[in-house]
Amino acid sequence: MKKLILLVSILFVIHFKATAQEQSVFTHYQVNPVLINPAAAGFSGSHEIYANLKNQWVDFPGAPKTYALSYHGPVAKTFGLGATLYKEDIASLNRTRAVINYAFRYKVEKLKFGFGFTTEYSQWSIDNDVLSNSLYDPGDETVDNGIDGISSFDASIGLYGLFNEKTYIGIAFPNIIMARLDGSQEPDIEELNDGGYYMFNVGHKIDVTEGVQIEPSLLLRKVRNVPFTADLSIKGLFMDERLVGGLTYRTGPGESLIVLIGTKQQQFSFYYSFDVSFQNFQSYNNGAHELTVGFRIPAKDRSSVQEGTIEQMTK
């Protein structure tokens, strides 16, 4: 078992050294869009706090676990701010990410739109206990560098819009600026900023009857070290979102079906999803689980936050 965990760790470190960091793949962007688009920070006009846990490949040795604690909200009439701390564990490999989101929001009649960007510090490291593993070769540069820690800086930008409080559309470009902060001079360092990565999502809420809405949505995702995927989702909102249920079909090499259930009770919200993969690897694990707990605080002057206009900004 220890040998398997060490092998998984080494493979991830080699992968990181060759192509830098990758994006975590969350499902609960449907309830917390800041996970995929920095322009959504403060967009609702409320202060929002989320705690997120994603446990992948349950019961498989060294399975990835991701923890996230985030806040975002309006801090000025047309400015939103957010901060997220991520902790990821993969076998003996640990990753910490500190992210700050900045968003500028405007409103023109029924259209609200915003522009945002993200700055991120990321560090990978390997647990010291791998040094006692029989597979470890003393002086192995890959493992030694991993134990010392491999750090990097990253930046992303995004656009987000909401029309008539029902139709939303957003696009984000991750990894537009990447740089190593550990003094590494790998020959592929210039390739880290080759670009071409994006996350595009669109959705619309349809009123069915009083207190009941149906929300179809689409997410197209092409990010570093993750093959292209498309999420086709349908979500039902019942009793003014006191009950939420949904299904997502995710295409690509990680083809899977995702079931979402949740509730929103005044300031509190709770969401849970379960992923079942259609790949052969599913027979070696018990799927993926994701859990989000949220707390929402209305802004003191919510109307002024949401009614900021371009004309006010130019005065």
Percent of the chain residues topping a pLDDT of 70: 75
User: What's the token pair of residue 129?
Assistant: 């206990």
Concatenated DSSP letters of 97-117? EEEEEEEEEEEETTEEEEEEE
d(CA 149, CA 128): 11
Q: What is the pLDDT of residues 28-68, one digit of tens each?
A: 999 999 999 999 999 888 999 999 999 888 878 778 889 99
User: What's the token pair of residue 8?
Assistant: 């998984």
Q: What pLDDT score was predicted for residue 20?
A: 37
Q: What pLDDT score was predicted for residue 181?
A: 75
- Who's near 85: CB < 8 A, 6+ residues apart? 68, 69, 70, 96, 97, 98, 99
Between 102 and 310, name the one with better pLDDT. 102
Q: What is the pLDDT of residues 85-134, one digit of tens each?
A: 999 988 778 889 999 999 999 999 899 999 999 999 988 887 766 656 66
Q: What pLDDT score was predicted for residue 11?
A: 45
Q: What is the pLDDT of residues 260-283, one digit of tens each?
A: 999 999 899 999 999 888 877 667
Q: Is the pLDDT of residue 303 over 70?
A: no
| 158-185: average pLDDT | 86
CA geometry: angle at 119 spanning 117 and 120, to 5°?
140
- CA 218: distance to chain centroid? 16
Q: What pLDDT score was predicted for residue 315?
A: 44
Q: Is the pLDDT of residue 141 over 80?
A: no
Q: What pLDDT score was predicted for residue 313?
A: 39
Which of left, alpha, beta for 36 (phi over 0: left; psi -120 to 50: alpha)?
alpha
Q: pLDDT confidence of 253, banded at 50, 70, 90?
A: confident
Mean pLDDT (the chain) is 81
Question: How many C-beta neighbours within 10 Å does residue 210 have?
Answer: 7
**Model pTM score:** 0.80
**Residue whose structure tokens are 């537009």:** 176
Structural domains of the chain ordered from first start: 2-314 (2.40.160.40)
